[in-house]
Amino acid sequence: MPPQDTPTPPQDATSTLSCQKKRWIALPTLAAASVLVIFVTLAVTRFDIHPGEIWDTLRNSRPSYYLLAVLVYYLTFPLRGLRWRMLLDNAGAFEHKRRPTVFEHSLLVLISWFANLVTWFRLGDAYRAFLLASKWKLNFPLAMGTVLAERVMDIIVVLPLLMLASIGLLQGETSHTASLVLGGATALAILAATVVLVMRFYGMRVARFLPARMEKAYASLQHGLMQSFRQMPAMVLLTAAIWLLEAARLYFVVDALGLELGLAFVLFASLANSMLTAIPVTPGGIGFVEVGLTGLLVLALPRTDAAAVTLLDRSISYFSILVVGGAAFFIRQSWEARRRARTPTTPATPSP
């Protein structure tokens, strides 16, 4: 059974929301402070970069190109929302039910991005499926299966794009790093394909040994995952557009600082950075992504410029999500609390 919204008395709604706000405000504040401390510390110690030099580079950035970087980044959310809706349609999630709009899907994706920044192990992905299942009375494991299908779809598209971007990098000083990134992406693709194949051919055999409720949940998860892979040409094009926009964000960030970086290297660095973000080592990849992206960029840029690009890029992919995604989360929570407060509690029917 998917999670259900339970009516909440008006007096409880206000106190519950207040507690939630305190927790979720504290987490982003701590995370934002952590990313600055970690990045500056590692930049000074590992890369021998002085914060003053980074600041001199950042303050001369061009706002118009920075705003373009922000724009193309936030254009990915409607595309992600549309893709998720198509995956859910493929899985038959909305049969005889009202389908959420693309905007509603996109909003849930944005909120899940915010949740990923303040939780470990990318729990925002599961939270997104939970919100959808709760609001639209869907089967939660099935919705979670479509989220897993998204991750598999990303890997399917990112690997060939990485190979394309690496054509000119598999020689000279960048060859070792390019080979390592390609090797990691290939291993990840093989792992994803293995998991999908095992679930497809052996999953239900193993699930029969589980309790009936868990077996049913697994069957729904498998259905959501396997049935999502329809309309593959459209899915591949959508996913490619999403990742090309992610690369465009980095390209405009580099332009905003008045630097020059080849298109192939921008695409390579952006996709490699996405792999780092996907690894749930820290919430939102704090510290891990900053060092990894700077390490890639120093192959083509001076150290100070590489650190400045990383910091400016993370101001979009991390700090802006804390603000915009956090605002979306709080607004939705407030609206849901008011809606539950207005919903009359149905009295229990006494047993005869």
Residue 338 domain flag? yes
Rounded to whole angstroms, how far apart are CA atoms 218 and 141? 7
Residue 347 domain flag? no
Rounded to whole angstroms, how far apart are CA atoms 177 and 167? 13
Residue 348 domain flag? no
Rounded to whole angstroms, how far apart are CA atoms 80 and 110? 9
Residue 219 domain flag? yes
Domain that holds residue 233: 10-342
pTM (2 d.p.)? 0.85
Residue with tokens 């792992």: 191
Alpha helices (H) along the chain: 10-45, 51-59, 63-90, 102-118, 123-136, 140-165, 175-201, 203-207, 212-226, 232-256, 263-278, 288-297, 303-314, 320-342
Residue 267 domain flag? yes
Residue 1 domain flag? no
Residue 352 domain flag? no
Q: How many domains does the chain have?
A: 1
Per-residue pLDDT of the chain (352 residues; tens, 9 = 90+): 444 443 433 444 444 434 544 454 455 556 555 555 665 566 566 666 777 888 888 999 999 999 999 999 999 999 999 999 999 999 999 987 889 999 999 999 999 999 998 888 889 999 999 999 999 999 999 999 999 999 999 999 999 999 999 988 988 888 999 999 999 999 999 999 999 999 999 999 989 999 999 999 999 999 999 999 988 999 999 999 999 999 999 999 999 999 999 999 999 999 998 887 777 777 777 877 888 899 899 999 999 999 999 999 999 999 999 999 999 999 998 998 888 888 765 554 544 4
